[in-house]
Structure 1
Amino acid sequence: MPNRSAQEEYPTWVGFVFIFNLIVGTGALTLPSAFSHAGWLLGSILIVVLAFVSYVTVTFIIEAMACANAIYNWERLQLIKRDRVVEYDEDSNVETIAEPLIQPGPGEDQWTDAIEQTPLNIMYCRNQYYSLSNKIELGVMANMFFGRVGRFLFFFCLAVYLYGDLSIYSAAVSKSLRDVICFHNHSTNASDDSDFTSRCWEDSAMSRFDVYRLCLVAFFTTLGPFAFLNVQKTKYLQLVTVLFRWLAFSVMISIATHRLFIQDDDSPIVPEKANMNGIPYLIGTCIYSFMCHHSLPSLLTPISNKRKLKSLISMDYVLICAFYLSLALTGIFAFADIKDLYTLNFVPNSDQDSGILKGIEYFLALFPVFTLSASYPIIAITLRNNLQTLFLDTNQLDTYNFFLRRVFFALLAILPPTIVCFFTESVISLVEFTGCYAGTGIQYLIPVALVYSARRTCVSIIGRGIVNDYRSPFKGNLWLVVIFGWTVACLVPVTINLTQ
């Protein structure tokens, strides 16, 4: 059922910050590498198109959220009608409930506060069905609007995406730690394959990949146990994190811009304009970089003034798209070799003098370690809970044995991504796969299916006469077909690239 527990509301600007903080993450650090594969012109065009498509599906999710609230409010009114005499005034479009309320029966606890506080004569306006006042998560909406097969596919797709998230976090953190620890060959442009053979230190037999694996094991043993617990993000943690991200990305853009101005005119860096072979890398990276759909109910519901919600989302997407373009374009014109994780271009070299510059470079190199380590336990717990929902009856969770409830699904959440990362350190490959396959499901297909089913359900239950103020501006079914066609167009080149 919807979460109607008391929660702290926050102003619109805080919601703006939260959405920015959610979207701008690991994917942004792989964009410069993806641009270097696809070319600066082709990359710029594709990222704008992908940003627009992501924005369209965000409006679908918001409309589906309002529809879910409408059904919830309608069902709540039916509960009240069973216990009170309701008179409907056709002229004022208002239902007057004249009898006193009785206490709700078993299983109706979620309405206790609202019913107890309702006065003798209340006016329930029918145009207030559609709202975003109740936090209804995507999983709840899937149960409301999808059949059994649809629900299974939803949770399966979400689980695959979260597995990919954990794999990306594990590889990015371990790779960043490895490159800070190893001082050998930092200044070379060696490929990832050389990490299997090149030594981490000149006087050591350990390769860079061996050290990467040791960092992965340390990361797993340090943060893995949190998957067995319950961890919640707070408003203040998010605000601190977004300031940290703004600082790191701003410094990277500033350093890259500085390098542009000090380049030797005799040998400037001239990246490609367009390379069709790089499209698969860029598609998966961009989809992953604009992901926020699965967390929208938690972020949007507490916003106190939702009248500016559409402009809030629009401004966030415009700002993030401009931010991504600035990061990627300055990077590919400033560095001849772009690492798959952009922060690795700022790892301190062993021959540099200590000072402010070296401190800044350490800060940037360790940026993924701090930010992703803070998010890893939350993603792991979310995946654990979704796996339980997929395979167990969550209404009878206490009836299962302790190992199944508290141990098995936590291990099932954290072990597979760690095993995958034990054999590969290619962050961009993980992002490409996660973004394009699980990402298109969550960002494209699920919003299309949700809004289509939500519209049909609301029409059949509530009728066509009630206006949904949160309806997407992309109203026609043609937009649903366009998004579905775009999904196929994204999957084809990535699938061809992976099979080669």
Structure 2
Amino acid sequence: VIQILFSFAVFWIMFVMAFYLLAIGRGKGNPTLANFGALPNIFGACSLAAVSHATLPHIIPPIQNKTNLGLGIAIVFIVVSAFYALLSLLIMFTFENDKIQEIVLLNFLDCSIVPGMFFIYFLGLYTTFKVSAVFPLNAVALRDNIRAIFSSFQSSHIWVVESLLFPLLTIIPPIVIAVITENIEVIVGITGSYAATIIQFIIPPLLVHYSRRDTQEKFGLCIPMKHASPFQHNFWIILAITFAVFTITSVTIFYYQTQL
């Protein structure tokens, strides 16, 4: 609850201050209509942001009445998307385009923008608190996933492997990345474009395909499902995998060209 309130406070501070600066005529932004050179990083950022959907499987099962569940989720997505779109537009018109930081909170760490040192420190420490709170949870989940992958091997149950090697495999890669680079845009682009795309657009469709095939072999084709998904056709599986291949290909070409 504290983390949710903290996040709401930070976003509303940015929203109010950006709107206030535009209202008094202090907006310096002049964004271009489109920048197709940033398209690969948009794919990466969107894929990485969409990983948060992993919380839905933990939220949906406890809900007993799922009659209007699809409508409720759609409304939440629309409201959140509208809020982020409005905040992004405000920031683009408030700050100069070439001075917008990868972590947009850094643009607000100025007394001429946000009055009061308390609010400045509050905004500045938000990312630290957020990452510090989420990192242990993600690390534990990743460690458990690695343990499950190698559970069939007898050597994985040795204390050194289970209690030392698996946790190290979880925490060493992000620590190394944090030490060797400070370019958040590249980190988000590469991580989202490759890892998050595979996790979200390749693995789930394959799981759905094989689970449907296994279900049909065991129970037959005529299985009444009151709350069945409207996206049951194999077209959606092919579309998701095609989009993933297109995203990974375009991002790879973009990074290859930028390195030449």
Q: What TM-score does the superposition give when structure 2 sets the normalisation length?
A: 0.89
Structure 2 residue aligned with 1:43 = none
Among candidates 251, 259, 267, match of residue 13 of structure 2: 251
1-side partners of 2:9 and 2:81: how far apart? 18
Structure 2 residue aligned with 1:472 = 229
Assess if the C-alpha contact under 8 Å between 1:284 and 1:434 holds in 2: yes
2-side partners of 1:384 and 1:276: how far apart? 38
Among candidates 13, 18, 24, match of residue 262 of structure 1: 24
Amino acid at match of 1:482: L
2-side partners of 1:416 and 1:287: how far apart? 20
- Offset of 1:293 from its aligned partner? 4.2
Aligned sequence identity (%): 32
Superposed, 1:35-434 pairs within 5 Å as 239-263=1-25, 268-336=28-96, 337-348=99-110, 357-393=116-152, 400-434=157-191
- Offset of 1:370 from its aligned partner? 1.4
C-alpha change, 1:469 and 1:367, in structure 2 (3 Å) is: same
2-side partners of 1:305 and 1:356: how far apart? 47
Assess if the C-alpha contact under 8 Å between 1:436 and 1:491 holds in 2: yes
More helix by share: 2
Structure 2 residue aligned with 1:127 = none
Structure 1 residue aligned with 2:219 = 462
2-side partners of 1:324 and 1:446: how far apart? 28
Structure 2 residue aligned with 1:489 = 246
- Offset of 1:376 from its aligned partner? 1.0
In the alignment, structure 1 segments of 5+ residues that lack a partner are 1-238
2-side partners of 1:268 and 1:412: how far apart? 45
1-side partners of 2:237 and 2:149: how far apart? 27
In the alignment, structure 2 segments of 5+ residues that lack a partner are none
2-side partners of 1:269 and 1:420: how far apart? 32
Assess if the C-alpha contact under 8 Å between 2:67 and 2:227 holds in 1: no
Among candidates 412, 419, 439, match of residue 196 of structure 2: 439
Assess if the C-alpha contact under 8 Å between 1:348 and 1:362 holds in 2: no
- Offset of 1:322 from its aligned partner? 0.9
Amino acid at match of 1:298: H
1-side partners of 2:223 and 2:146: how far apart? 37
Q: What TM-score does the superposition give when structure 1 sets the normalisation length?
A: 0.48
- Offset of 1:470 from its aligned partner? 3.2
C-alpha change, 1:453 and 1:289, in structure 2 (3 Å) is: same
Runs of 4+ off more than 6 Å: none
Give per-residue Cα distances to partners, 1:417-444, cap 9 Å, x unaligned: 1112111011121111111111111221
How many residue pairs match? The answer is 255
Assess if the C-alpha contact under 8 Å between 1:293 and 1:442 holds in 2: no
Q: Larger Rg: 1 or 2?
A: 1
Deviation larger for 476-485 or 359-368: 476-485
Assess if the C-alpha contact under 8 Å between 1:283 and 1:436 holds in 2: yes
C-alpha change, 1:268 and 1:419, in structure 2 (3 Å) is: closer
